[in-house]
Chains A and B, each alone.
Chain A
Amino acid sequence: MYRYFLAKIGQSVLLLFGVIVLVFFMVRLTGDPASLMMSRNASPEQMEAFRERMGFNRPVYVQFADFFTGALVGDFGNSLHFKSPALPLVLERLPATVQLAVVGLLIAMFIGIPLGLLGGFQPGSAIDSIGRGLALLGQSIPNFWLALIMILFFAVRLGWFPSFGRDRWDSVIMPAFVLGLPTLGQLVRLTRSAVLEIRSADFIRTAYSKGLEPRVIYAKHVFRNVAIPLVSVIGVQFGYMLGGSIYIESIFAWPGMGQLLEQAIGWRDFPLVQAIAVFTSVVVLALNIFTDLAYAIIDPRIRYGS
């Protein structure tokens, strides 16, 4: 168990190292980071001064060592737009993004799992068709478009929800629903197929043949086994929501990290983009470790396996 987690944490540290390398070289893909970050009509003198200030005129390995040691202590340099350290600006936006992702995940779970369970118990029924249709739609509707359409109908036409911002308690509902819809669909599919598979397993037949009540069978045997695949998917999806809310945050003017990313790209503020990329990756990697932990707690096969 401990060995398993030490190995996982070791892997994550390696991944983090990879992320920092990647993020360092990504702004150098075009060869000249200065021309990437400066406006096109900057004079050669301004460019030279910028290179000097950012240290882009030093050898690459010196720049990398500098960036790497900085990244380890959370120093990504100053944001070009705000002229202040980049990481605190990102951290400031974290609560909004987390709130959006948590509410989105809750919506997806509270609708998706029951629909999947009902569909799995009664395949072919009306509720099963609804669930599967919703799953297919969740997979196929572009979320940036759905966000626009929802604003048009529920905010502009009907006036039920605010169309942007984070000032009211119900501001979160529309963006969270849009963010959660693909996950909702996945949960329906996964829960349904897990129920179908477990229902026909030998141990369920044994439970029936020894005369257990169906209620007990579902509670003790089916649900527990359905929970195992769900945990890992929920973990992965939560990470995806934290890092994938850029469209939704920018459309709903939700003041989270995704909106900051969109703004930073518009400002060509790449130190800030780098900080967002590394920080979000750290959060997602940490989440993966927690998911594995939860997985091992639920599923003894992993705890005791090699």
Chain B
Amino acid sequence: MVARETTADSLLDVEQTWADRLAYWGRFWWRDRGGVLGMLMFLVVVFSAIFSPAISPYDPLQQNLRDSKMPPAWYEEGRWDHPFGTDNLGRDIFSRIVYGTRVSLTVGFFGVLIAGMLGLVMGAIAGYIGGRVDSIIMGVVNLVLSLPYLLFVVFIAAVLGRSLINVILIFGITDSPIFARVTRGEVLRLRESGFVESAVSAGATWPRIIFDHILPNLIGPLITLATFEMSRMIFYEAGLGFLGLSVPPTVPSWGNMLAAGRKYLTSSPWIATFPGLAIMFTSLGMNLLGDWLRDVLDPRLRRTRK
């Protein structure tokens, strides 16, 4: 009894030093290092998109043919006022990469927003009502999911023509079936779960069941899915740009930059290298973030850790 008291007292007495706190936070960060890194990478991209004019040293559209195809600063002929060099029209590649985050994030964010909302509505109706409505909705969902996705996206983009709105709509609509499928699965599972059953037997009205019991439980899996899908959309947007099917050629986007750089691959490889690295950076960050969110938000899918 005495011993226990002294231990408790001495524990309380110990003042937390900065080293202890550092160690504590260090352990915390280390355990979730993937997620922290992913979050930081994503924040860098978001920051670049918001503060593009302040970060980029040049106007991304400003041409300067005298200084065209200048290599990055660490090359012998490079200059630090164009850190990543210039493209075939003498535009500053660093500034264009920074502005490119705007196109990528706009497409990713609004694409996921549209896909998520459409999918949530379709999946919730299919899962909650069931029966014939369910088979019709899921029939359409399965049709779209079993198609060669890239081929059809390229096809629609070629028909509709190059514009930001078109690209967002294409991704928002073609990607909604994935959200619908996940939502439906979750709704079916939740509908059978004990707490919904007890809410029903306690006489809760259906809006209350949906808004208080089902929707809050859907948020976790949907946010995780949204992260992965946003990364995929950024990826596919660049791919469409590469084929000349995304935003108009004058807009600084990573896909357009890759398409332009492809022609100068052997003579000026940096024109195509940097936009590719930017896509990879964003995608890597979002995948790390998504993996982490999946672990944190969905205990059922928790990764086996050793």
Give residues in A with beta carbon < 8 Å to B. Answer: 11, 14-15, 18-19, 22-23, 26-27, 29-30, 36, 123-124, 136-137, 139-142, 144-146, 148-149, 151-152, 156, 193, 196-197, 200, 239-240, 242-244, 246-247, 250-251, 261-262, 265, 270, 273, 276-277, 280-281, 284-285, 288
**Can you list 9 A-B pairs with a CB-CB distance of less than 8 A?**
A14-B139, A15-B146, A29-B159, A124-B306, A145-B258, A145-B280, A152-B269, A250-B243, A277-B155
Q: How far is A23 from B158 in the complex, measured between Cα atoms in Å? A: 13
Contact of A29 among B146, B160, B269, B284 (CB under 8 A): B160
A136 and B287 within 8 A (CB): yes
B238 touches A142 (CB 8 A): yes
A18 CB contact (under 8 Å) in B143, B238, B288? B143
Query: How far apart are the CA atoms of A139 and B283 in the complex, in Å?
Result: 8
Which of B231, B243, B272 has most A Cβ within 10 Å?
Answer: B243
Residues of B within 8 A of A246 (CB): 150-151, 154, 243
Contact of B154 among A146, A200, A240, A265 (CB under 8 A): A265
CB distance B146 to A284 under 8 Å?
Answer: yes
Dominant secondary structure of chain B at its interface with chain A: helix
Question: Could you tell me the distance between the alpha carbons of A124 and B231 in the complex, rounded to whole angstroms?
Answer: 27
Whether the Cβ atoms of A148 and B265 lie closer than 8 Å is yes
Q: Is B11 an interface residue (CB 8 A)?
A: no
Residues of B near any A CB (own CB < 8 A): 139-140, 142-143, 146-152, 154-156, 158-161, 231, 235, 238-239, 242-243, 245, 258, 261-262, 265-266, 269, 272-273, 275-276, 279-280, 283-284, 287-288, 303-304, 306
Contacts of A196 in B (CB 8 A): 304
- Known A-B contacts A149-B273, A152-B266; the reply to A273 vs B155 at CB < 8 A is yes
> Whole-angstrom distance between the alpha carbons of A277 and B273 in the complex?
32
Chain A residues near B269 (CB-CB < 8 A): 152
Q: How far is A200 from B306 in the complex, measured between Cα atoms in Å?
A: 13
Report the minimal beta-carbon distance from A215 to chain B, rounded to whole angstroms.
23
B158 near A148 with CB under 8 A, answer no
Q: A246-B243, A277-B155 are in contact. Are A151 and B265 (CB under 8 A)?
A: yes
Are A284 and B238 in contact, CB atoms less than 8 angstroms apart?
Answer: no
Q: CB within 8 A of A139: which of B148, B159, B272, B287?
A: B287
Judging by beta carbons under 8 Å apart, are A244 and B148 in contact? Answer: yes
In contact, B276 and A148 (Cβ under 8 angstroms): yes
Nearest CB to that of B228 among chain A residues?
A139
Residues of chain B within 8 A (CB-CB) of A146 are 276
Do A240 and B159 touch across chains, with their CB atoms under 8 A apart?
A: no
State whether A136 touches B159 (Cβ < 8 A): no
Query: Known interface pairs A15-B142, A15-B143, A197-B304. Does A142 touch B239 (Cβ–Cβ under 8 Å)?
Result: yes
Closest 3 CB pairs of A and B: A243-B148, A145-B276, A140-B284
| Cβ-defined contact, B266 with A156, below 8 A | yes
Asked if B148 contacts A281 (CB within 8 A), the reply is yes
In the assembled complex, which residues on chain A have CB atoms less than 8 Å from the CB atom of B284? 136-137, 140
Q: Are B147 and A284 in contact (CB under 8 A)?
A: yes
Chain B residue with Cβ nearest A199: B304
- Given A27, A139, A144, which contacts B239 in the complex, CB threshold below 8 Å? A144
In whole Å, how far is B75's beta carbon from the nearest beta carbon of chain A? Answer: 15
Quick check: B235 and A19 within 8 Å, CB to CB?
no
Contact B262 A148 (CB under 8 A): yes
Q: Which residues of A contact B154 (CB under 8 A)?
A: 246, 261, 265
Bound complex: CA of A250 vs CA of B151, how far in Å? Answer: 13
Contacts of A156 in B (CB 8 A): 265-266
Q: Are A277 and B152 in contact (CB under 8 A)?
A: yes
B276 touches A30 (CB 8 A): no
* Residues of B close to A243: CB separation below 8 A: 147-151
Bound together, the chains give a CA A171 to CA B10 distance in angstroms of 72
* Alpha-carbon distance A285/B145, docked complex (angstroms): 11
**Interface contact A142-B266, CB-CB below 8 Å:** no
Q: Which of A11, A27, A149, A197 contacts B276 (CB 8 A)?
A: A149
A139 to B229, alpha carbons, bound, how many Å?
12
- A residues near B279, Cβ cutoff 8 Å: 142, 145
Q: Which one of A22, A36, A123, A142 has the greatest number of beta carbons of chain B within 10 Å?
A: A142
CA distance in complex: A148, B262 (Å): 7
Contact yes or no, A244 B151, CB < 8 A: yes
CB within 8 Å for A288 and B304 given contacts A29-B156, A136-B284, A142-B235: no
Complex Cα spacing A188 to B167, Å = 32
- Residues of B contacting A149 in the complex (Cβ-Cβ under 8 angstroms): 273, 276
User: A239 and B148: CB pair below 8 A?
Assistant: yes
| Least CB distance, A160 to chain B, in whole angstroms | 16
